[in-house]
């Protein structure tokens, strides 16, 4: 089987001027993407994970239970430079996805694409739902497309220019990627599989790719050492999550169907064309390893029962290849009218699903909008099913109400009690919200056994007086002599966590909080 671009040269080494190849337009699109996110990303509230990253940023280390160190470090820098507003916190994802727009077009150019291919691939990236979401909130997902495509870009350059030194740069990108999110290891594995299954396996006979791998490990080494010293907390966390059955498990067919959805049903012909071109086109034969790379990465995430968005960062290269194939077809067939039609479809398609993944609409209007969609927004965890909003929105609501009731509890304490009374939360979202939003009330830092908060320990509190969130009176009375119910956080209908009960507990029946701290460990 061959695609319609087989008659084109195998490798196009023609170097075009910067204005001639359409890159100025791509830069304008990237800037527009940045402004788009900067405008809309403060419409709702702080996201649960952002509280965690800010708390981790206040305790800088080479690793954390549920993540490597890059995102907490970046959020710490952005807060120091720009402050604590939502726009300040979320400027990194806006910049990262805008840079990924440029990199996607650069990949299209290296694959032989010209002006329209660059425009089409850049526009498609901007309008892809999962990337719209990546640019709207500070999570470990926001840098993945940029870092994954950095790896792919240097692999393409190493082969196209027959310059093995680019494997070193791939190693740098992969190493930084491992310090940002461990899932880039799947891409590295998939690239190796793709190279071994194609004629490019010869690269393993030279030292450069091995040096690139060594460089990646050297960059990753500080986090690796941290994991060893802390007995591999991330591995334990993943094991516990699988054992609990927390995530929604998808069949291969369902996983593929959700890939089509999160990348956008209208854009499926573009990236699937790109994937098939890598697998079958003579023009892209030097890069056939990228076809196998997708199949290998897809298989890994299906076998490991990964969430639907885990594979999301891999698609820009297939959008770029598909755009190049489409451009070649239009040029040969002279169906020039297809260009404005495709651009209009991408813009309309992006606008159609944008409210689902970024806070474009007021929340009441969004709920009505979501109810009229021809599909149900996927939920990646069973606990998300009960929420009115998708989790990426629901976890931006309810935190102010929770902190308000915690402050009411803290205000009931006598001046003698306050210095020795800690605030115990059930998860990093609750604890992080108290740490960040509670500063306006003068609340002390929160305690929790959840994820990295467990490693920070009881912070010197005896446990004889505790404000406890989200527990039951019956359980607390088995640990304390006196349990006073303060109230529940006011019911925010949009929140994932609603009506959180708050108690003041006095007279510990246990020895000290440090004695029972191991029992509070919750890594799941």
- Please write the tens of the pLDDT for every residue from 455-502: 999 999 999 999 999 999 999 999 999 999 999 998 888 888 888 999
- Residue 481: the pLDDT is 94
Per the prediction, the chain carries an average pLDDT of 92
Residues 6+ apart with CB under 8 A from 483: 473, 476, 477, 503, 504, 505
Cβ burial, residue 298 (10 Å; 0-12/13-18/19+): buried
Is the pLDDT confidence value at 18 over 60?
A: no
Segment 496-518, tens digit of pLDDT: 888 899 999 999 999 899 999 99
- Tell me what pLDDT residue 462 has: 93
Which residue matches tokens 């497309």? 145
State the pLDDT at residue 17.
58
Closest CA to 500 of 509, 511, 487: 487
Quote the percentage of the chain above a pLDDT of 70: 95
**Tokens 């067939």 sit at which residue?**
333
pLDDT tens-digit series, residues 278-300: 999 999 999 999 999 999 999 99
Least confident window among 16-25, 180-189, 273-282, 400-409 = 16-25
If you average pLDDT over residues 17-32, what whole number do you get?
85
Tell which residue, 331, 297, 292, has the closest CA to residue 311.
Answer: 297
Write out the two tokens for 445.
Answer: 């830092």
Residue 485 pairs in a beta bridge with 503
The first and second tokens of residue 45, run together, are 């509230």
Q: Provide φ and ψ at 84, rounded to 5°.
A: -105, 5
Q: Report pLDDT for 385.
A: 62
Q: How confident is the model at residue 244 (pLDDT cuts 50, 70, 90)?
A: confident
The gap from C-alpha 84 to its chain's centroid, in whole angstroms, comes to: 20
- pLDDT on residue 2: 41
Report d(CA 25, CA 322) in Å as an integer: 19
CA distance 414 to 412: 6
* Cα–chain center distance at 434: 23
pLDDT value, residue 381: 57
């Amino acid at each position: 089987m061959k695609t319609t671009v087989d008659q084109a040269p195998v490798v196009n080494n023609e170097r075009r001027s910067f204005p001639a190849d359409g890159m100025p337009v791509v830069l304008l699109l990237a800037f527009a993407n940045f402004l788009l996110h900067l405008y809309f990303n403060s419409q709702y509230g702080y996201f649960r994970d952002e509280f965690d990253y800010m708390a981790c940023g206040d305790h800088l280390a080479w690793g954390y239970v549920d993540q490597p160190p890059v995102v907490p470090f970046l959020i710490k820098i952005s807060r120091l430079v720009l402050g604590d507003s939502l726009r300040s916190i979320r400027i990194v994802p806006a910049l990262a996805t805008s840079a990924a727009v440029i990199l996607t077009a650069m990949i299209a150019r290296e694959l032989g694409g010209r002006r329209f291919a660059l425009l089409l691939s850049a526009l498609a990236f901007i309008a892809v739902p999962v990337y719209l979401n990546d640019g709207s909130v500070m999570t470990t997902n926001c840098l993945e497309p940029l870092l994954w495509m950095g790896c792919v870009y240097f692999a393409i350059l190493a082969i196209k220019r027959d310059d093995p030194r680019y494997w070193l740069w791939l190693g740098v990108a992969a190493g930084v990627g491992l310090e940002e999110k461990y899932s880039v290891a799947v891409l590295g594995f998939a690239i190796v599989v793709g190279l071994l299954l194609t004629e490019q396996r010869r690269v393993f006979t030279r030292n450069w790719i091995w040096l690139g791998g060594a460089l990646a490990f050297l960059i990753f080494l500080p986090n690796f050492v941290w994991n060893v010293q802390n007995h591999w907390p991330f591995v334990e966390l993943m094991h516990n999550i699988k054992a609990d059955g927390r995530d929604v498990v998808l069949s291969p067919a369902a996983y593929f169907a959700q890939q089509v959805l999160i990348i956008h049903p209208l854009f499926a012909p573009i990236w699937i064309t790109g994937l098939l071109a890598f697998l079958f086109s003579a023009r892209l034969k030097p890069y056939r390893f990228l076809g196998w790379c997708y199949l290998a990465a897809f298989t890994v995430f299906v076998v490991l029962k990964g969430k639907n968005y885990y594979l999301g960062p891999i698609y820009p290269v297939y959008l770029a290849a598909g755009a190049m194939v489409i451009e070649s077809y239009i040029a040969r067939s002279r169906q020039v009218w297809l260009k404005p039609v495709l651009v209009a479809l991408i813009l309309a398609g992006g606008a159609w699903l944008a409210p689902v993944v970024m806070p474009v609409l007021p929340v009441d209007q969004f709920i009505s909008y979501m109810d009229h969609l021809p599909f149900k927004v996927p939920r990646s965890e069973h606990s998300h099913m009960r929420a009115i909003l998708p989790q990426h929105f629901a976890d931006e609501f309810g935190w102010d109400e929770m902190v308000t009731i915690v402050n009411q509890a803290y205000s009931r304490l006598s001046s003698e009690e306050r210095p020795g009374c800690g605030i115990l939360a059930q998860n990093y979202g609750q604890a992080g919200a108290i740490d960040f939003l509670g500063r306006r009330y003068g609340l002390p830092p929160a305690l929790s056994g959840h994820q990295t908060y467990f490693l920070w320990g009881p912070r010197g509190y005896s446990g004889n007086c505790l404000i406890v969130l989200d527990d039951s009176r019956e359980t607390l009375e088995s640990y304390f002599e006196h349990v006073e119910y303060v109230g529940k956080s006011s019911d925010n209908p949009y929140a994932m966590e609603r009506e959180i009960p708050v108690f003041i507990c006095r007279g510990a029946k246990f020895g000290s909080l440090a004695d029972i701290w191991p029992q509070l460990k919750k890594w799941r």
